[in-house]
Amino acid sequence: MFSLNNQLELRKVTISSLLTCIYLPSIVTVISYKGLLYSVGNGSSFYILVLIFFAELLKSFYLNATNDIQAKRSKANKNRVGDILKSFVFLLVALFCFFIGIMLFGAPILDCHEETLMLSSLMSLLAVFPLIAHSGVEASMQLLFGIKNYGRDTITEMLVNNSIMTVCGAWLGAVVIPLDWNTPWQQWPVPCYLGAISGYLLSNVFTVFKVILLSAAQKYPTINSIINFLNNLHSAK
Amino acid sequence: MQSWLQNRWTSLCLLVIAIGALMLFLYGFFPLKYHSGTLAHMDDLPNFIDGVSIDGHEVYNSGENTVILMVIDGLRYDFATEEYMPYTGQLLKNKSACIYVSVAEPPTVTMPRIKSPERKKEKAQWRRTINFWRDIFAMMTGSVSTFADVALNFGAPAVRGDSVLRVAASRGRRSIMYGDDTWLRLFPGLWAEYDGTTSFYVTDYTEVDNNVTRHLDKVLTPDENKKPTFDFLVLHYLGLDHIGHLEGARSPMIKPKLLEMDGVVKKIFTAMQTWDRAGTLIVCGDHGMRDAGGHGGASPAELLVPLVLARTPDFVCPHSKGPGPTVAQVDVAPSVAWLLNAPIPGESVGRMLPALLPSDSRQHLYLLHVLAAHNARQGVPTNAEFYKQFQRAQTQFAHYLATGQKSAAKIAKDFYEESLEAMSRYLSEQTVDLDMFAIGIAVFLLYFIAVTLLCVTLYSLQPEHSRKTSTGHHHRSTAGSFLAFIIVLFICSTTLVISCFITETKSQFCSFNSAWILVFGLTACVITMVYFITKTAIENTRDLTILKDLNLIDYLLIFGTVFHSWSFFGTSFIEEEHMTWYFFWNTLMLFILLRTVVVVLMYLGKMFVGATEVQEKPELHKRMDINIGLLPKWVLLIALHRYLKTMNQTGDRWLFLPDTADWLNAPENAVFLQAHLVVGTLLTLIICLWNVRCMNNVMHMHTAFTVLATGCILCYRISTKALDSPFDYIQSWDPVNIVNLFWGLLIAQFVFEILTYVGIFRSCGVNSLKTQSNKKFVYNKPKAKTEDYFYDPLAEEPWNLEEVKLSLACSISHLMLNYLMLIVILLMRPHNVIMVPSVYITCMLTSKCVNHKLLDTRPGRDTEIVDTLSQVLVHLWIGQVFFFYQGNSNSLASVDLGAGYVGLREYSAWRVALRMGLHAYGGPAVAGAALFARLAAAPSWHRYLQALWQTTNVLALHRVYAVSLYCIVTIFFRHHLYVWTVFSPKLLYDFVATVFTTQALTSIAQIVGLTHFTSWLAKTLTYKSKL
């Protein structure tokens, strides 16, 4: 659960989550009205990924912006170009890993490469990219696999939750594929694609919900019991 | 009662009881009547009615008749109207034809979608056959078929009992069939002429019908005497159904198709009018269709089909206009049989179509009498009202015959009809009705046993010290507990008896005859016993803190196992059960992959950050090294599973997709197939040789035995032409002899192992060097303890009895694993041989990875119990996954009959069944054996027994839990239309799985028993020799 210590971080988290809650559904709505929802696996829907990429990039700029001059200075000293290059390479590696992993876990091997590639790029965009943009390559690796603890860093906590939920969503999306309903959205990779997006979205909604709970708890102390319960759940995991 | 709870094999006993309960369930679920196979003869016709003689043959004679049965697949009631079929409508209007509403036996249809390779056609054909089975069976034999008819016939789905076609053939009638070839397969050898079309390609809806119609002109043309050339003609049109499947009942193509059918009716009817012989045309559908086009539901549109009866010459339908009276599908059989002047098929329960009954009241009554007497012979209770009615009718008929009073004839007719209706309904219901009371009792028992097993399992999962402290608080006297048992037993049986009488059930269970009273008493005993075990277990389970040690993977395992049984409430989850398992297994593999990545990262982090710390702990360093090696292995394992998954398409929906096995079995890829075979066999050989290390000291002999056995398998493959070899002469060897030699080798190896254990070979001096280096089976005195048993030399055990016991158990367990692997390899299809080493490798690697100490850097935490739990569940999962990798599914069609005849010269039911079962359950069997072999590698005898106890409990619990939940599912869906193709086969599979689990646990119990026995033997002999 988030801490209330840093109001600024909390605000950032809320706003960025709200932004996600707005832009992702609107993208999905637009493409479903255009009738393109079931063709998300094609290469022609690459523009969706570009849109998401820029949205996430803007969000990460917002999250990284600090008023602290000293921090700015220390950041400026670092080799920005090298960092960006490294992140880019790492993103590609992550994409490749997702690609191989998805295939290993049951995607068609001999065909449908385009679809699998689109799914893996979406997943690396949603699950890995924001984390890299915020905390760098090494730290994000450690964070993702739970080796490093994010401690009281609310933003990182949100980002890690987002990536986990994205992967879970894509994973659970595969459940509907074997059902014998013969609907167009059971085509590979539509359920996983939409599952990843909805997982990400759900995670953001949870974030907003948690912040609302926290602020409500200040007014109504009874809510604290719910927060404690959630905290317990979290620590039990 | 405490001793029951603590007994190691309580759960095994409970499992056996559960099998009993399951049998009771099967008894209640599968209809009680089994077809006896009585064949009818003309001589069966009664010549005396209540003492008054009558010439049966003469009265029965229906004259010369020609019958045409035209089955239009998917013809539903509203299609047979003037709007769709104008000519037929016209016939109905001017009363030259009658229309009846016939209620179809619910069909179950799953249509093949895609062209499939030859290998899978059989499976699809089988499904297709089952689909037509009920309708054709009902129409031709006049009796409602049961699941047992199908299940006992699978492989060769021919009707073995009596049918219209058989009686017609026995009377020398010519039967001709044009249409779906299912008829040919159901009634082989009974057709004078036929042309079967496969209904395989659903996209084809013109050609299938043209294939039927093209013969009509020829066959309908009468010979020079204006007589038709046949007596019975069956036409089966499939096109309508195919259109329905493709486009739905509102498709524009339906109308032209029905017009075409109408044209056929017109053609037949006009031809019949030119004949110099009475002709009868019966047009009927076998099932209807939904508006959406499919069928398989229970809506009226699917179940109500028209039955149009048209006759020449001068036939006037006796019924008033409008929808005709309701008849049953089984009524077709006696009607056709009578028209063909043949006796009524032996097991027919139908009646005559009302419009066919002759106007001559003597013949009319005689026919009714024949039908009623026929039905009355088929086990109708003689004290029932309808039987008495039948007897009254008989008296009236005799009275009529003697005096010729019209009023007596009228009364007799009414009485006959009443009793016939009641008898038909009774007989049909008896075939279809479930014994709900027995089912209820069985499910209750299964549930109670499942709950008890859960309590026992939880009890056994407690840490040992808390189990010890909880015992012996208040020790009841034996007499006291006996009294309690009697009292509860009395209460149970009273409740059962009362419930019997309250529900007023007709069940055999409550009939209290000699055999059933035993079952009744046993049920009451079991309920009492189970109650006491549960009670004691609940009282003694206090400390479940161990469950807090469960990690995420354990939760996944438990949740998956529990959820899986609930998923069966959806039919497609039964048909596609493999998908559920694949998904769970994938999730597990993902979790473990993440875990191994975490281990690697943790290690790397430690290397960079705290290098000194790692160097200080060389032990930790070493463990990390081992664990890091897991990651690449694990990735390779995932790749292997990805490959195995593509090996066999299974289930229902994707069965027809080409898979790797098809590719391998293509003649041009024979090299790869043989490579799979050889690699699989050799890998198994290596694994077996690796396992030999756990056996006794005479390593070389065991190695020789194993290598020889593998050689036998390879020779068998060569002699059955599955494998090419440079040695041509092997091909001429007899496979049966090779397999016999293989069995001989296995038995010899086992005997040798036991003999070495006993120590026969020591005197020969063969292995004197070996025995000294490796003292597994030598009793000796541990030296450190020599002072202790100075006081009580008999009570203490100076000898290392337990170590020897453990090593014997370990050795036999590994021997069992080796045997299973070798036998399964022998039985498997060549492309599946690779599965066996894969199961072993998966088991080994996974059990390393789910180890709770993998991520734990601190030693000393006791995770043994949780480890056992997760190991058992993981092995269960692996078994299930491989069960489906191998190409099995929950349909009877996927049972490989070929495996049953490996190394057999003639059919022998038990051997074939055993081989088939072991082949089908090869994956679970090897995984289970690997689990028990792993358990036997425990550090001490005591801990081995502990782990064994817990494992047995968990396995039994899982089995009974799955079965009991599935029984509920089948009760819930007992009227579902998939009950034949989906639910019942799965029930059989579950039954077999339960039997095999029991068998596996029994053999483990035997191993433990053997160790105890030998140990006791050694002890007594030693003491004796001392004395």
Chain B residues touching chain A at CB-CB below 8 Å: 552, 572, 575-576, 579, 582-583, 586-587, 589-590, 594, 597-598, 601-602, 605, 635, 638-639, 642, 645-646, 651-653
Evaluate if residue B997 carries a pLDDT over 80. yes
Crossing angle for the helix pair B577-609 and B835-849, to the nearest 10 degrees: 50
Helix (H, G, I), strand (E, B) or coil at A1: coil
Question: Rg of chain A over CA atoms, in angstroms?
Answer: 19
* CA distances for B757 relative to A118, A122, B932, B933, angstroms: 63, 63, 20, 18
Phi, psi of A114 (to 5 degrees): -60, -45
Using pLDDT thresholds of 50, 70 and 90, give the confidence band for residue B769. very low
Could you give phi then psi for residue B498, rounded to 5 degrees? -60, -45
Which of A106, A178, A237 is nearest residue B576 as measured by Cβ atoms? A178
CATH number at residue B141: 3.40.720.10
- Could you tell me what percent of chain B has a pLDDT over 90? 21
CB B948 within 8 A of CB B8: yes
Residue B563 binned pLDDT confidence (cut-offs 50, 70, 90) = very high
Residue A43 contacts B where some CB pair is shorter than 8 Å: no
Q: Are residues B532 and B569 in the same domain?
A: no
Q: Is pLDDT at B522 greater than 80 in this prediction?
A: yes
Nearest residue on chain A to B583, alpha-carbon basis:
A175
Q: How confident is the model at residue B125 (pLDDT cuts 50, 70, 90)?
A: low
pLDDT reported for residue A26: 92
Are B881 and B913 in a shared domain? yes
- The answer, for A108 touching chain B at a CB cutoff of 8 Å, is no
Residue B49 lies in a domain: no
Distance CA B999, CA B210 (A): 55
Structure-token match 């036409």, residue found: B235
**B682: confidence class by pLDDT, cuts 50, 70, 90:** very high
Tens digit of pLDDT at every position of chain A (237 positions)? 566 667 788 888 888 999 999 999 999 999 888 888 888 888 888 888 999 999 999 988 888 876 655 555 555 556 678 888 888 899 999 999 999 988 888 888 888 888 899 999 999 999 999 888 888 887 887 777 776 776 667 888 888 889 989 999 999 998 888 776 667 788 888 899 999 999 999 999 998 988 888 888 878 888 778 878 777 766 554
Shortest CA gap B995–chain A (Å): 30
- From CA B711, how far away is CA B719, in angstroms rounded? 12
Alpha helices in B328-405 (DSSP H): 332-339, 361-377, 385-403
Same-domain pairing of B846 and B769: yes
A110 touches chain B (CB under 8 A): no
Cα separations in angstroms, B162 against B165, B166, B178, B187: 8, 6, 21, 10
Cβ-proximal residues to A227 (8 Å cutoff; 6+ apart), any chain: A1, A213, A214, A217
B177 & B310 share domain = yes
Is the ipTM higher than 0.90? The answer is no
B561 and B513 belong to one structural domain: no
pLDDT at B149: 63
Q: Per the domain annotation, does B50 fall within a domain?
A: no
Contact A105 B576 (CB under 8 A): no
Which has more pLDDT, A54 or B58? A54
B655 domain residue, yes or no? yes
| Residue B377 located in a structural domain | no
Chain A residue with Cα closest to B589: A105
At residue B994 the predicted structure's pLDDT band, cuts being 50, 70 and 90, is: very high
CA proximity to B588, closest of B847, B208, B887: B847
Under 8 Å between Cβ of B266 and B308? no
Per-residue pLDDT of B346-360, as tens digits, reads: 878 888 888 888 878
| Structure tokens given for B722 | 């599955």
Domain boundary among B303, B335, B357: B357
B-contacting residues in A 130-149 (Cβ below 8 Å): 141-142, 145-147
Q: How distant is the alpha carbon of residue A92 from its chain centre?
A: 17
B730 and B812 part of one domain: yes
| pLDDT tens string B711-728 | 999 999 988 888 888 887
Residues from chain B that touch A175, judged by Cβ atoms under 8 A, are 583
User: B15 and B80 share a domain?
Assistant: no
* Whole-number pLDDT of residue B861: 63
Q: Is A27 on the interface with B (CB under 8 A)?
A: no
Mean pLDDT of B916-934: 92
Number of domains in chain B: 3
State the DSSP string of B906-950: S--HHHHHHHHHHHHTHHHHHHHHHHHHHHTT-SSHHHHHHHHHH
- Report the C-alpha gap between A156 and A141 in whole angstroms: 12
What does the pLDDT read at residue B241? Answer: 78
Q: Are residues B538 and B598 in the same domain?
A: no
Question: Which residues on chain B are in Cβ contact (under 8 Å) with A146?
Answer: 598
Q: What is the DSSP letter of B728?
A: G
pLDDT of residue B941: 86
Half-sphere exposure of B368 (CA within 13 A, CB side): 30
Taking contacts as CB-CB distances below 8 angstroms, the residues of chain B near A171 are 587, 590
Question: Among residues B509, B543, B577, which one ends one of the domains?
Answer: B543
- Which residue out of B598, B624, B650 would a mutagenesis test of the A interface target, given it has the greatest number of A Cβ atoms within 10 Å? B598
Nearest C-alpha of chain A: how many angstroms from B586? 6
Nearest CA in chain B to A144: B598
Residues B530, B563, single domain; the answer is no
A175 in reach of chain B (CB within 8 A)? yes
Question: Which string of b and e fits A56-92 if b means at least 16 CB within 10 Å?
Answer: beebbeebeeeeeeeeeeeeeeeeeeeeeeebeebbe
How far is Cα B500 from Cα B494, in angstroms, rounded to an integer? 10
Mean pLDDT, chain B, whole residue set: 80
Least confident of B311-315, B329-333, B362-366: B311-315
According to DSSP, residue B73 is labeled: T
* Distance between B632 CA and the closest CA of chain A, angstroms: 13
B15 plus B84 within the same structural domain: no
A141, A180, A237 ranked by CB distance to B653: nearest: A180
The string of pLDDT tens digits covering residues B66-106 is: 889 988 887 888 888 888 888 888 888 888 888 888 876 55
Query: Searching chain B, which residue's CA lies closest to the CA of residue A171?
Result: B587
Domain residues for the domain of B353 are 63-357
Domain boundary among B357, B381, B412: B357
Residue range B402-440, pLDDT digits in tens: 887 888 888 888 888 888 888 887 877 766 667 788 889
- Residues in A closer than 8 angstroms to B645, CB to CB, are 106
- Search chain A and give the residue with CA nearest B581: A175
Out of A105, A171, A179, closest to residue B572 by CB: A179
Domain shared by B194 and B272, yes or no = yes
**B554 shares its domain with B628:** yes
Among B171-175, B468-472, B543-547, B599-603, the minimum mean pLDDT is found in B468-472
